[in-house]
Amino acid sequence: MPIIKYVAVHGSPLKLLKYVTNENKTEDTLITGLNCSTDSNIAYKEMEQNFELYSEERFWKKSLFMKKDILGGKERVRLHHYIQSFKAGELTKEEAHRIGLEWAKEMFGDKFQVLVSTHTDKGHYHNHFVVCPYDDDGKLWRADKKSLNRGKAISDRIALSHGLSIIEHPKKSYNHKYGDYLSQKRGASWKENLKAELDELVMREDVQSIDDLVDKLKEKGYGIRMKKYLSIQVKPNRKPIRTYRLGDGYFLEHLAYRIEHKNFEMPLSEIVKYDGIQREYAICLRQIQIMLYKSPETDRPHYVSYRTVLKNYELLCYLHNNSIHSVGELKSVVGKAEGKYSEVLTAKKKLEDRISEEEKIIGDFPRFTELVNKNPMTKSEREELKKLSYLADKGVLSNDDVAEHKAILEKLRGQVEGCYENIKAAKDERDKLTDYFDTYTQQVQCDYDFLLEKAREEQERKAQAVQIEEHEQERKNYHYEK
């Protein structure tokens, strides 16, 4: 579960380099210099030389030539500092460092000076990347939102290739207040009570639409405002709250979807209908649903969100509808989709090669005709005619022959145009199935044991409740008989 953060360093570059190479925080084997030394003092000199050469500013202080009219009075960033943090206990320090090197090489290429250091002094391993703003050719690194998002995507892809978990859909902030947080921790939040009320209502058989949900809320005494958003007033003296502020699963469109798909919150009776990996996944899905709709937000694992539940539900439906009961069958389906995508790309490439060949024939014919009818010819012209003689071998000897090739060219171009739709369809299918497989791998391989334990706990609670109920009934029957 790597997390990428960025810090711009405007001063004290040597201090940062000494910090990331501190022997109390890391080891020599966990420090690697890409185009620079692993010694902080030497790395400082190397980056200083590169920075001052291309920026015309001192590495440690003000401009050499006082070009504030060009810079708008702003000091340049001296160093870029990226941090990549991993989930505790998920990997070894050596693997964390290897992943960091992979990330740095793909992120910055092979011309930037990057010092990579893995710190092991905290409860979780994390990588520091110190980057000189200019590469060996003077190209400036742009540290903006776009490059940061790209870095996060690269980090996630590398993490998945190493079998690590990722945060698929980072949660957005909806202005949850600190008082709400404390109430949730105490289990006394009025918002949690409202969510529980909504969870119960959307599962009722007599609630088949948002309008039905609104009617039931009114019957329970809630004040309702229904425009662009659904707003609920819990008490007369309390301001209405829009349902999306309750979190994932309570947006208006989310509630409508949950009402339409009653089995979205899967009962245990549904799980027994599945077998193989379908049942495994159904167990995972049910536990994620319970955590999302029944647990306080502050107690949920990072991956539990409405989007995750929706994605998992779509995958379970796909497995069931396509009779996929094993990991091997799922891999086979993904492999076939990848093969289909490769096939349509290859077909397009062959058509493009033929188009290039036809364009060459049509383009070379005028010069070929000119040289054939020319007498005498120079040595270079004879050599040129020799190269163009392939046209005669192909039977292209007249304008009528060229016209035939022009017709062939137009037909090929039309076929290429038709390829784009096939490529898009094949790519969409490949991407969808690859995403399904990644989702399955994430939940079952990384989280299945945890979710299965949650399922066992739920079953035990239900069994205990049944025993208590049976014991109470026996006691009542005993007293009745007496």
Segment 7-33, tens digit of pLDDT: 888 877 888 899 899 888 898 889 999
Whether residue 13 is preceded by a cis peptide bond, meaning omega within 30 degrees of 0, is no
pLDDT of 296 over the 70 cut = no
Model confidence at 58, in pLDDT bands (50, 70, 90)?
A: confident
Please indicate whether residue 208 or residue 281 has the higher confidence score (pLDDT).
208
276-295 average pLDDT score: 75
pLDDT of 285 over the 80 cut = no
Supply 481's token pair.
């008989």
Please tell me the predicted confidence (pLDDT) of residue 72.
40
Please tell me the predicted confidence (pLDDT) of residue 453.
66
Please indicate whether residue 393 or residue 190 has the higher confidence score (pLDDT).
393
Lowest pLDDT segment from 46-55, 145-154, 164-173, 424-433: 164-173
Element holding 225 (H helix, E strand)? strand 223-226
The C-alpha atoms of residue 207 and residue 26 are separated, in whole angstroms, by 59
C-beta of residue 353 within 8 angstroms of C-beta of residue 416: no
Please tell me the predicted confidence (pLDDT) of residue 245.
86
Helix pair 306-321, 399-440: axis angle to 10 deg: 110
201-229 average pLDDT score: 89
Model confidence at 319, in pLDDT bands (50, 70, 90)?
A: confident
Dihedrals φ, ψ of 248, to 5°?
Answer: -55, 135
321-344 average pLDDT score: 90
The C-alpha atoms of residue 202 and residue 258 are separated, in whole angstroms, by 7
Please tell me the predicted confidence (pLDDT) of residue 442.
65
Q: SS3 letters for 271-287? A: HCCCCCHHHHHHHHHHH
Q: Which of 252-266, 356-370, 452-466 has the highest mean pLDDT?
A: 356-370
Q: Where are the beta strands (DSSP E) in 60-167?
A: 79-85, 114-119, 126-131
322-338 average pLDDT score: 89
Is residue 391 classed as helix, strand or coil in its secondary structure?
helix
- Give the mean pLDDT of the chain: 81
Please indicate whether residue 474 or residue 10 has the higher confidence score (pLDDT).
10
346-368 average pLDDT score: 94
Q: Which residues lie closer than 8 Å to 319 by C-beta, 6 or more apart? A: 277, 278, 281, 325, 330
Which tens digits make up the pLDDT trace of 147-173? 998 999 899 889 888 888 776 555 444
Please tell me the predicted confidence (pLDDT) of residue 268.
65
pLDDT of 367 over the 90 cut = yes
pLDDT of 378 over the 90 cut = yes
395-422 average pLDDT score: 92
406-420 average pLDDT score: 91
Model confidence at 454, in pLDDT bands (50, 70, 90)?
A: low
Q: Report the side by side order of strands in the sheet with 241-242.
A: 223-226, 230-233, 241-242
Q: Which residues lie closer than 8 Å to 111 by C-beta, 6 or more apart? A: 35, 135, 136, 137, 139
447-464 average pLDDT score: 64
Supply 346's token pair.
């290859």
Supply 225's token pair.
């405002």
274-292 average pLDDT score: 77
pLDDT of 131 over the 90 cut = yes
Please tell me the predicted confidence (pLDDT) of residue 196.
78
pLDDT of 108 over the 50 cut = yes
Question: Strand pairing partners for 230?
Answer: 226
Nearest alpha carbon to residue 43 among 61, 31, 55: 31
Please tell me the predicted confidence (pLDDT) of residue 255.
87
Please tell me the predicted confidence (pLDDT) of residue 314.
82
C-beta of residue 355 within 8 angstroms of C-beta of residue 412: yes
Q: Which residues lie closer than 8 Å to 191 by C-beta, 6 or more apart? A: 180, 183, 184, 241, 246
**C-alpha distances in angstroms, 171 versus 46, 83, 175, 335?**
40, 20, 12, 32
Model confidence at 358, in pLDDT bands (50, 70, 90)?
A: very high
Model confidence at 46, in pLDDT bands (50, 70, 90)?
A: very high
Model confidence at 476, in pLDDT bands (50, 70, 90)?
A: low
C-beta of residue 219 within 8 angstroms of C-beta of residue 200: no
DSSP assignment of 327-352? HHHHHHHHHHHHHHHHHHHHHHHHHH
Provide the terminal-to-terminal Cα distance of the chain, rounded to the nearest Å: 63
Lowest pLDDT segment from 47-56, 80-89, 182-191: 182-191
Q: Which residues lie closer than 8 Å to 433 by C-beta, 6 or more apart? A: 333, 334, 337
Nearest alpha carbon to residue 33 among 23, 44, 25, 24: 44
pLDDT of 312 over the 90 cut = no
Please tell me the predicted confidence (pLDDT) of residue 445.
52
C-beta of residue 5 within 8 angstroms of C-beta of residue 113: no
Model confidence at 478, in pLDDT bands (50, 70, 90)?
A: low
Exposed e or buried b per residue across 460-469, where buried means at least 16 C-beta atoms within 10 angstroms of its C-beta: eeeeeeeeee
Dihedrals φ, ψ of 5, to 5°?
Answer: -125, 160
Model confidence at 186, in pLDDT bands (50, 70, 90)?
A: very low
C-beta of residue 113 within 8 angstroms of C-beta of residue 36: yes
Asked if CATH classification 3.30.930.30 holds for the domain at 3-161, the reply, yes or no, is yes
pLDDT of 291 over the 90 cut = no
